[in-house]
Every structure is written in structure tokens, then in C-alpha cells.
């Protein structure tokens, strides 16, 4: 089992995609990168803790590669938007990868180098060494699947989720 940590905007959105992938064994939404011990959702929403919303992925590298995870990560958020994703604005929604080893660091840097020509604006995704990951409050886990009738899920997540499932059908859980 290996671990990957991605921050790509709202963790409800990011979790929705990655939990569908074959080889992803568990996902925890949470907070990483800040200076406040044991932050809460309310604390990080102020933008003053230095934390970002992120997901911690436990995956089986025999079933899905880190490169596959990178592809999904970059394809399901805008890595060129500064301090936010869509209408979710604030430093807590920045794009970042928290690598857990030197191989992940190199693969992420190489992947960014490979795809940067596909974007008209520079990729601003930051690469950081792993920091303390604080698991978010229970109600955030599996948020999209448990709250599909909520307006945010219907308006923001659902349209992108349908495109994701069509594009990545070969990587989805059977």
C-alpha cells in the first residue's frame, strides 16, 4: 500500500473522483501545510491557518500507478488558477502535491514539465514534502455520495464527475 496527498481545491470534489479509481483503497479528506495544530474546517475557511484542503489516498500500486493518479489530479482541477478553484476562492483551495518520497517528487515534477504546454497560463501547482496531515471532520468523508442532492454537489461536482467517469472508464472500479 502506498500513500499520495493531493490538494486540488474543494476536497469534496477531489475525493469524488479518486474514490472511483480501481486500486484506491481509502481516501481521507483533510488539512495539510499550515501552522495551526489540529485545525478544523471553520479554522481553515478563514484562510489564516496556512492549511489547504487535501485528500490522503491509500492505493495499491499494483492496480493503479502514481502517474495515473497524477493524470487524474491534473485533469480534474485547474492547476493554473491562483488561490482557488472555480468559485471556491482562498489560499485553502490552492493546487499542491505533497509528495511522500523522492520518487513521487520526481514523477510529479516530470509530469508537470510534460503537460505545461497544454495550458495557456503557467501551472502554479506547488510541490511540497509531506507535512502533518490532519483528517477532516467525519461529515466531510464521502461527502459527494452522501449529499448528492445538495446544490453544491449538483451544480459544481456532478457535471465534472460525469465527464470524469466517461474519460477514465478504464481506470474505474468494476
List the grid coordinates of 163: 465527464
**Secondary structure (3-state) at 29:** strand
Active site residue 10: yes
Tell me which of 10, 13, 45, 153 is the catalytic residue: 10
The DSSP 8-state label assigned to residue 96 in this structure reads: E
Q: What CA–CA distance (Å, rounded) separates 104 from 63? A: 17
Whose CA is closest to 73, among 164, 169, 170?
164
Q: How far apart are CA 93 and CA 9, in angstroms?
A: 4
Q: Which residues are catalytic?
A: 10
Amino acid at each position: 500500500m502506498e500513500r499520495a496527498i493531493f490538494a486540488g481545491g474543494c476536497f469534496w470534489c477531489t475525493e469524488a473522483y479518486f474514490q472511483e479509481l480501481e486500486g484506491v483503497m481509502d481516501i481521507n479528506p483533510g488539512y495539510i501545510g499550515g501552522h495551526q495544530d489540529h485545525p478544523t474546517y471553520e479554522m481553515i475557511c478563514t484562510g489564516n491557518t496556512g492549511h489547504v484542503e487535501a485528500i490522503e489516498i491509500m492505493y495499491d500500486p499494483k492496480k493503479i500507478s502514481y502517474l495515473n493518479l497524477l493524470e487524474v489530479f491534473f485533469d480534474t482541477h485547474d492547476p493554473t488558477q491562483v488561490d482557488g478553484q472555480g468559485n471556491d476562492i482562498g489560499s485553502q483551495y490552492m493546487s499542491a502535491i505533497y509528495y511522500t518520497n523522492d520518487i513521487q517528487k520526481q514523477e510529479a515534477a516530470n509530469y508537470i514539465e510534460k503537460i505545461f504546454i497544454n495550458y495557456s497560463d503557467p501551472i502554479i501547482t506547488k510541490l511540497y514534502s509531506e507535512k502533518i496531515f490532519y483528517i477532516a471532520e467525519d461529515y466531510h468523508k464521502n461527502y459527494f455520495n452522501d449529499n448528492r442532492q445538495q446544490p453544491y454537489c449538483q451544480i459544481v461536482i456532478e457535471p465534472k464527475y460525469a465527464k470524469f467517469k466517461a474519460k477514465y472508464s478504464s481506470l474505474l472500479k468494476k
